[in-house]
Amino acid sequence: MNANTIVQKLWRLCTVLRKDGITYQQYVTELTYLLFLKMMAERNRETGSIPKSRRWADLVAANGLSKLELYRKVLVDLGATTTRLGKDDALVTPPTDDASSEERKRYQDARPLPEMVQKIFDNASTFIREPQNLTTLVTAIDELDWFSEDRDQFGDLYEGLLQKNAEETKRGAGQYFTPRVLIEALVRLMQPKPGEVIQDPAAGTGGFLIAADRYMKDRTDGYFDLPDSGAWQKSQAFHGMENVPGTLRLLLMNLYLHDLDSGHIDLGDTLSEKGKGLGRADLILTNPPFGPAGGAPTRDDLSVTANVSSYQLPFVEHCIRALKPGGRAAIVVPDNVLFEDGRGRQLRQMMMDWCDLHTILRLPTGIFYAQGVKTNVIFLTRGKTETGNTKAVWIYDLRAQMPKFGKTTPLTAAHFEGFEQAFGTDPYGGERGADEGEAGRWRRFSREEIAARGDNLDIAWLREAEEEAEEGLTEPDDIAAAILGHLQAATLEIEALMAELGDDLPEAAE
């Protein structure tokens, strides 16, 4: 059974569980718990990690209601920081107030669960209500020949499930799922190297980190060509932060399946003080969240965007500050980052002073329905000084005269071929294809020309009515998403205007 067949089989089971009121995202979360238990058993890693009474074989052997009750206990116990393992991996519960000294000592001497286990099962609970539905799911997973594939294939299978989830629930799942063809294109252009610290401050399910890892493994015989056989790469190279607990579970599972350590992956808000703990990076690859953030950043080092109550501008400032001198980044941003006045303009000035903002890719519409706005990728290299690093910006327009992407017209790697050729083989933007002029997609704009535009980087020269592309939409999901996109784009512009007015208004008297 090949990988795609396994993904399709597992995904079809979701239709069975829909009768239990389970959404697609909840289904993938349930699979995360069950697949982790199954894989720990198949890889003989239960010893020292999973209590004997909470293992996959115990779950398979239980029947009916007892299976569901056991499953609930598994989720609670494996996620509790108080759970400990005694001799022979027996479950040792915390002592009660009237416990004997022997019982207290037994608990004190017991081993805590590994951090990875506790992170995946932290505050875990099941959405399944009917015992038969759990039996169906456990039986199907137990019978699948999932584990005859090599390690990397495990990750590919899991990512296949994440992609199915995103395709079925674009308006929700898309908040953490970036199209894999875009991720792979950016990784090819940025060329991550062994020994570099690679960061994603909005890690989602780990698409950028996993793709960077795969890129380097393919060029170092799975890291075996490295002096330490990849020990540093697996445990130190990848840093990230994710603010949604449920998404963090998927991220941790994805890293585990790709044999990567999660020691530098944390739950938290990058725009809070905790975000400073991500440290400095040689390479940043990220698709930050867009839209209102529910308040300004609480970090004291984001001076330019300190009072901005949306995600996109402060995340860009984080990336600028987090890059080491000579470090590079590819960041997905909405259009308003390129044209917003006030704080937006100040941020662009900072970016072009501190960094060489050498390339902007105008992305096609219809690939980020959850965010609902037009998007771009900015490519930059942090300078050794904080002045005058950007001499010119090259812009590739992959939006104009392109189809409206959606279910009926998927985005593929072939769509990026022209851009990759124009970008060249230098990840720092030192090799450029020829300027194609107003009739082409690839053009150069000097720093002086940009300054004359008020540092507005939202530059388009190829014209085509977007409405014509949208008239070709036929899928109800695509049509609804296009409408949502217009509404959310308008909301972003209103928020930017309100922020500008707010900056100009006098402070209220006390």
Least confident of 97-111, 336-350, 489-503: 489-503
CA proximity to 422, closest of 412, 437, 436, 432: 432
Which band of pLDDT confidence, cut at 50, 70 and 90, is reported for residue 488? low
170 pLDDT above the threshold of 90: no
The 3-state secondary structure of 310-348, one letter per residue: ECHHHHHHHHHHHEEEEEEEEEEEECHHHHCCCHHHHHH
pLDDT of residue 368: 67
Adjacent-strand bridge partners of 380: 329, 357
Least confident of 23-32, 110-119, 207-216: 23-32
Model confidence, pTM? 0.83
Please give the residue that has the higher pLDDT: either 165 or 59: 59
Q: pLDDT by residue (tens digit) across 354-400?
A: 999 999 999 988 776 544 578 999 999 999 999 999 999 999 999 99
Give the angle subtended at the CA of 505 by the CAs of 499 and 510, to the nearest 5°: 120
pLDDT of residue 167: 65
Q: pLDDT by residue (tens digit) across 219-268?
A: 999 898 898 888 999 999 999 999 988 888 888 988 887 888 888 999 99
pLDDT of residue 473: 54
pLDDT of residue 508: 39
How far apart CA 383 and CA 196 sit, in angstroms, is 17
How far apart CA 196 and CA 194 sit, in angstroms, is 6
Please give the residue that has the higher pLDDT: either 212 or 251: 212
Give the angle subtended at the CA of 194 by the CAs of 193 and 200, to the nearest 5°: 70
**Do 33 and 43 meet the contact criterion of CB atoms below 8 Å apart?**
no
pLDDT of residue 66: 95
pLDDT of residue 237: 96
Torsion angle (degrees, nearest 10) of CA 276, 279, 284, 285 = -60
Q: Which two three-digit tokens encode residue 386?
A: 């904080």
Q: Which two three-digit tokens encode residue 505?
A: 């208004």
Q: pLDDT by residue (tens digit) across 275-326?
A: 999 999 999 999 998 877 778 899 999 999 998 988 999 999 999 999 999 9
Adjacent-strand bridge partners of 91: 85
Between the alpha carbon of residue 429 and those of residues 251, 357, 424, 438, 456, the distances in Å are: 31, 9, 7, 21, 21
